Structure 1
Amino acid sequence: MVGPFPPFEPHGMGGPRIREIPLRMIVPNVITVLAICAGLSGIRLAFEGRFETAVMMVLVAAFLDGIDGRTARMLKATTKFGAQMDSLADIVNFGVAPALVLYAYVLEGARGLGWIAALIFAIACGLRLARFNVMGEEQKLLGRHADYFVGVPAPAGAVLVLLPAYLGFLGVERTNAFAYVSTVYAFLVALLLISRLPVYSGKGISTKVHRDIVLPLILIVVLYVSLLANYTWETLSVSALIYLGSLPFGFRAYSRRAEKEGIGLEPGVGEETETVPGPADERGEDNAP
């Protein structure tokens, strides 16, 4: 008997058909949907004037959108359906939601320029994600280039663009001057998203930790989480500023490495670039576009 809904095909119409879908294959998709719900709820809360909760919902959306791919990988549940769902969720959670929440909070004070800044950021995020998907389809970079993103990744851009909101929650008045400064800042973050700036990804860090630093590492993680829970906006503000301050050092490190090894200054460009053709990861956010 044919039901009211079409059967769920996790691998697409051209993939193997599964009569009964394992629950583990559905979990990552549920996380993705919850992330979209959180992002959209953040937009609603912002226009209702509950800005702190709205920003928290956007951050929750970004977090959930960042772990769905890793969850799929851990559960061995990567699917073509999940890849498409994840890509669609990215533009909402990393582009549209932060832009509209920031506009409702402070950019509206800059009138037309503020709205243009929100539009530019959302579109830049979409371009960033599209470029990542295309690059992933064409090739996977190995070696030195795998350690760098091309431009600021979308999750980081979403957290960075909300810096004016963090500062506002700490007591900075939402004056017209602050609105125009925030507008310029949103433009700059949008440019960082679509730039060719080499941004260190951290993928080159070993997944194994020397036993002498295990306990200090645990304490550092506990300290950061405790600061985030008790001094949320202060911690996020400092984290965003540290990240922005680290960008020139990442570019400098890549330039030195490129000069030493005789490769191009842009990630993925150079005579010695080693590539392997292959399809993009089935859930793109694993690589933090």
Structure 2
Amino acid sequence: MDKQPRRLSLAQQVPNLMTLAASCAGLTSIRFAVEGRPDQAIALIILAAILDGLDGRVARMLRSESAIGAELDSLADFLNFGAATGILVYLTVFGSGHSLGWVAVLIYVICCVMRLARFNVDTKAPDPEAVPGWFTGVPSPAGAMLALMPIALDRTGISLPPILIAVWLVLVGWLLISRIRTPSLKLVRLRSDRMRFVVVGVIAVGAILFTWPWQALLALDLAYLLVVLWSLRRGMRHRRRTTEAE
């Protein structure tokens, strides 16, 4: 007997609609990048990152998680944080015809694809070494924000030579596919009576991002780099203690 398809209410389709909206933001970001409008392009990538952070949580709240939703999320991440981000960096920083820049962008995008593929595999067959509440490697939205850092530097008056930007993109690609344990927001636990402060804080950060996008992005990138360095040091200390114990 054929299995009856699961029925979902219209409200339960909201997470998938959010994911599709993020995909539309990524595609429109590519359009703005081609038209030479990086401010609008990066704003849409930030919007896609916000939607990416919310759609899974909304799905869990509405109990509407599904296999197709997970696949849509992964495909949207590749589009937004791989292809759209890479094209924006290439056209804005390197300009068309810059072969070295294109190679660096290709490496970054391929690393993003590999990171998402590994995440999908780990979701279906969990990694026995995985630590709850921690990512293996830098997640793709954070990687995209790091990849956009040269544009933020340029917009705040600090221009880097193309060779350094190319090296930076390759480094970000390596962070995506590395085994470095980076913390997830799932680690954060707050009392319910303090959630109002979180809501105000999120609104404030969003307002700052859309008012001073380049300065805010640069500050967030530097803060996240400190988190990555802390995670790297933490992992090295853990491996050293494990080796000494053996």
Select 1:116's aligned residue among 100, 103, 113. Answer: 103
CA distance in 1, matches of 2:200, 2:128: 34
Pair 1:178-2:141 in alignment = no
Distance change (3 Å), C-alpha of 1:66 and 1:202: closer
- Give the secondary-structure state (helix, strand or coil) at the position aligned to 2:225: helix
Alignment-derived partner of residue 4 in structure 2:
16
Aligned residues: CA RMSD: 2.8
Identify unmatched segments of 5+ residues in structure 1. 1-13, 265-270, 272-289
Q: TM-score, normalised by structure 2?
A: 0.86
Deviation beyond 4 Å, 4+ runs, structure 1: 213-223, 257-260
Bigger-Rg structure (1/2): 1
Identify unmatched segments of 5+ residues in structure 2. none
Distance change (3 Å), C-alpha of 1:251 and 1:41: same
Alignment-derived partner of residue 227 in structure 2:
246
- Give the secondary-structure state (helix, strand or coil) at the position aligned to 2:50: helix
CA distance in 2, matches of 1:222, 1:122: 31
Question: Structure 1 counterpart of 2:21, which letter?
Answer: L
Question: Structure 2 counterpart of 1:120, which letter?
Answer: I
Question: Structure 1 counterpart of 2:136, which letter?
Answer: V
Preserved CA contact (<8 Å) 1:107 1:180: no
Q: 1:36 deviation in Å?
A: 0.8
Deviates more, 1:221-230 or 1:179-188: 221-230
Distance change (3 Å), C-alpha of 1:226 and 1:79: closer
CA distance in 2, matches of 1:95, 1:244: 19
- Give the secondary-structure state (helix, strand or coil) at the position aligned to 1:149: strand
CA distance in 2, matches of 1:223, 1:65: 19
Higher helix share: 2
Q: Percent identity?
A: 37
Question: Structure 1 counterpart of 2:14, which letter?
Answer: V
Select 1:191's aligned residue among 171, 174, 193. Answer: 174
Q: 1:240 deviation in Å?
A: 0.2
Question: Structure 2 counterpart of 1:193, which letter?
Answer: L
Select 1:77's aligned residue among 64, 69, 85. Answer: 64
Alignment-derived partner of residue 157 in structure 1:
143
Pair 1:29-2:16 in alignment = yes
Alignment-derived partner of residue 104 in structure 1:
91
Preserved CA contact (<8 Å) 2:8 2:64: no
Q: 1:254 deviation in Å?
A: 3.3
CA distance in 2, matches of 1:53, 1:83: 28
Q: How does 1:213-232 map to 2 (within 5 A)?
A: 221=202, 223-232=204-213
Pair 1:129-2:99 in alignment = no
CA distance in 2, matches of 1:219, 1:33: 27
Preserved CA contact (<8 Å) 2:78 2:112: yes
Preserved CA contact (<8 Å) 2:28 2:44: yes
CA distance in 1, matches of 2:3, 2:161: 53
Pair 1:54-2:35 in alignment = no
Preserved CA contact (<8 Å) 1:54 1:101: yes
CA distance in 2, matches of 1:162, 1:80: 31
Question: Structure 1 counterpart of 2:101, which letter?
Answer: G
CA distance in 2, matches of 1:82, 1:106: 34
